[in-house]
Chains A and B, each alone.
Chain A
Amino acid sequence: MGTATLRVFGIEDPLVSFSLIVIGILFFLIVPGTIALGFLDRKLGANLQARIGPNRTGWRGILQPFADFLKLSQKNGSASFGSGELFWMGLALFFLFSNIGVVPFSRHAVLFDSPLALMLPLLLLLCFSFATLLLGFGQATVNGWFGGIRGIAQSVVGLLPAMTSLLALSLQTGDLSWANLIQTQSDGIFSWNAFSNPFLGLASVIYLCAGLVMLGLKPFDVSASRIDLHGGILSQMYGRRLILFRLLRGYGFLLWVVMTVHLFFGGWSLPFALDGVVSDLGSIPLSMAVDIGVLGAKSAILALFVFWVAKVNPKPRADQVTDFTWKYLASLSILNLLAVLLWKGFVHA
């Protein structure tokens, strides 16, 4: 996709258009995406619990996340940032935002591609999740320390299933580049990786769960739980720091869901082989908008399922999470890899 994709909106200078795309993604996708996820979380939770949820701020409560942001930003105690927290913030910002360049949101904005491109987001998010340890230690409380330890245990454990699912995927698409992935999944719903091969369907579930474990997201978020660990890694976080934490976690979740959609559910391709139609659309911004819309819709549905299951079930303990990951996710993902290998070997020979 090289330099052609960088000539967006008639700007010739590659550096400028690259920067514009990055800034555009940040402000028009990431922040609204995280906010939309937060809103979905609250409204869904309220709906499930026979409540109304936020409905006064803006139309049907849509401005509620802004109201939360404003409320939190005017609260801050006298405690200054501990070194652990500063490190965490720096690392988190670095690893999360370097993902902007490597996860494409539209076919015209694939900024970076290589045979191992799909590994990059995984590794960057792994490093982000390791940074939780620093956050936990930076809380200077017993429960903060425990939260940090649990967070990192989960990260270490969640990596293996995610990696092996990704490898299973690479057997289907040939290599781990965006070009191949997009190519494989552009033929309608049964070319999507999750539906093309039963073992890859299982791999998609494993990948999603492994990500939730790794990043410490619901329903595996014991390390930040107010009830079990008395706040855990969040025990001293309030006010402006909490906003940053929530935004970063929300972005991590958004990123993981978007990655799952890209890898297993077709990315921006439409279900009925209408891909050709979108490519042939005259203007680039329009087809970019369609791509982003389709990607967003699929991510929202996946996020909805995750939130639903998380809100309705109790929370497992940290050691139960790691047990579950080793016993089921890791072992199944390895068996799955073998099974995909055999399937490709015998069925497609």
Chain B
Amino acid sequence: MRADSSEYLDTDLTEWEIGPFHGSLPAPMKLRLSLDGELIVGCEIERGYLHREIEKTMERLSWDAGIAMADRVDPESSASSELAFVAAVEGLASLEISDRTAWIRTLVLEMNRVSSHLGFFSRMARSAGAETMSQYVLRDRERLLDLFELMTGSRYLYRFFRFGGLNSEVSDGVLERVLTFCRELKLRIKEYNDLFSYNRIFLKRTQGVGLLDRREAMNFGLTGPNLRSTGAGFDLRVDQPYLKYQNLDLESIVQVSGDCHARYLQRLYEVDQSLNMIRLIVDQVPLGGASFEPLAKVPKGENYAMIESPRGLVGCHVVSSGGAEPVRVAFRTGSTAALSAIPGVLVGYRIEDLSVILASFDISMAEVDR
């Protein structure tokens, strides 16, 4: 509940600096808060603690090696940033992908979405003080990470998408295990709902807290679940489908209240949606090849590809001058807009709401700083 004017004490403001590392912060960042009593009246965020010069490094690496770097834009949702880069280059080099490649790519993207959202639930639960729920979710995510290791060789940074194909074949055994996992996770989600999602204490901490207006959200350029939880139903998979999303009968999920609970529920429903999609995909994956050719040179030009990642829209702008390395690779990520919206959202709430609000926006500083 945003404080109305009678609750402000109008005292001297206290300055309080938190960060860059703290248990209540979702990622390394520095927050400078101005507090009036216990209400936050101003906030400045300092970023840059996770800057790793990814975009610059990609300029000196070959195209193939660039995929390994593109992974690392956001390690938790690496499939999306990988795909953004790969799709942009494929567009530039006019490479076609086989049907099976497209289906498997969709599968990996949706599995990645589930993995990232499970991490979100864990952080959200922890920020509200429910350690038990946090541990349950992490336990389930471990099984998903094991599946990724089986499929791609690595738990987080897959380097699985290649120009024109995939890094390796995916066997039927793996697909079956994916299906089993989906079935079990659906049961677990029931358990989470019983325990946490509609828990009265959690509702009191998140309903009405961190309100974001739809217009404000669009003005800040928010995308992804953060935007859809305020009522604006823009989902790239539905509005401008890529890969095989048009075959999957998708609808945009939208919450209208725009508070922290809406953001939580939005991602909960999206996990459910992704699990349904994974089942459909595994049923429809055609047999075939998914091989790729190593790409030495990419024709001159530039291209931009957008992907709906778990945190928003990820876009990759690729500029090539016909050589063996890119001239420029620039990423546009979803968390950056969320970070810029946060100071406005925080005003009027109490200090104790800080960790809940920050966790609910699902910000990855790795994405913001690159």
Contact = CB atoms under 8 A, between A and B. Distances in A.
B135 A49 contact: yes
Contacts of B125: 314
Contact of B351 (A48, A49, A229): A229
Interface string B191-217: 000011001011011000000000000
- Residue with the highest number of chain B CB atoms closer than 10 Å, among A49, A227, A312, A318: A227
Contact of B352 (A48, A222, A312): A222
A93 to B, nearest CB: 29
A144 B253 CA distance: 42
A60 interface: no
Contact of B23 (A146, A226, A312, A316): A226
Interface string B19-42: 000111000000000010010000
B18 A317 contact: no
Contact of A314 (B24, B202, B351): B202
Interface stretch (B56-64, B126-134, B275-283): B126-134
- Residue with the highest number of chain A CB atoms closer than 10 Å, among B129, B132, B201: B129
B16 to A, nearest CB: 5
B24 A227 contact: yes
A313 interface: yes
B135 A227 contact: no
Interface size, B (range): 20 to 34
Nearest to B356: A228
Interface string A308-338: 0001111111111000000000000000000
Contacts of A226: 23-24
Nearest to B22: A230
B129 A227 contact: yes
A318 B130 CA distance: 16
Interface residues of A, number: 26
A219 B130 CA distance: 10
A313 B201 CA distance: 7
A90 B355 CA distance: 34
Contact of B132 (A228, A312, A317): A312
A297 interface: no
Nearest to B128: A314
A56 interface: no
A143 interface: yes
- Residue with the highest number of chain A CB atoms closer than 10 Å, among B131, B139, B195, B350: B131
A225 interface: yes
B234 interface: no
A320 B18 contact: no
A312 B133 CA distance: 7
Nearest to B204: A320
Given A227-B126, A230-B24, A315 B16 contact: no
A159 B22 CA distance: 34
Chain B interface mostly: helix
Given A314-B130, A316-B205, A143 B16 contact: yes
Contacts of B139: 50
A314 B129 contact: yes
B32 to A, nearest CB: 12
B252 interface: no
Given A313-B201, A314-B202, A316-B205, A45 B131 contact: yes
Interface string A228-245: 111000000000000000
B268 to A, nearest CB: 16
B199 A49 contact: no
Contacts of B22: 230
Contacts of A230: 18, 22-24
B129 A228 contact: yes
B195 A312 contact: yes
B199 to A, nearest CB: 6
Contact of A318 (B14, B23, B129, B352): B352
B18 A225 contact: no
A318 B129 CA distance: 13
A51 B351 CA distance: 32
A222 B14 CA distance: 20
A11 interface: no
Contacts of A319: 350
A281 interface: no
Contacts of A48: 132
- Residue with the highest number of chain B CB atoms closer than 10 Å, among A225, A226, A317: A317
B130 A313 contact: yes
A57 B139 CA distance: 25
- Residue with the highest number of chain A CB atoms closer than 10 Å, among B14, B135, B195, B353: B135
B220 interface: no
Nearest to B206: A314
13 contacts: A45-B132, A50-B136, A226-B24, A227-B24, A227-B129, A311-B132, A312-B130, A313-B199, A314-B128, A314-B201, A315-B129, A316-B201, A320-B201
Closest 8 CB pairs of A and B: A315-B129, A49-B135, A314-B128, A314-B130, A228-B352, A142-B16, A314-B129, A317-B352
Given A227-B355, A314-B201, A317-B350, 16 more contacts: A48-B132, A50-B135, A51-B135, A142-B14, A225-B129, A228-B24, A229-B351, A230-B24, A311-B131, A312-B132, A314-B125, A314-B130, A314-B196, A316-B201, A316-B205, A320-B201
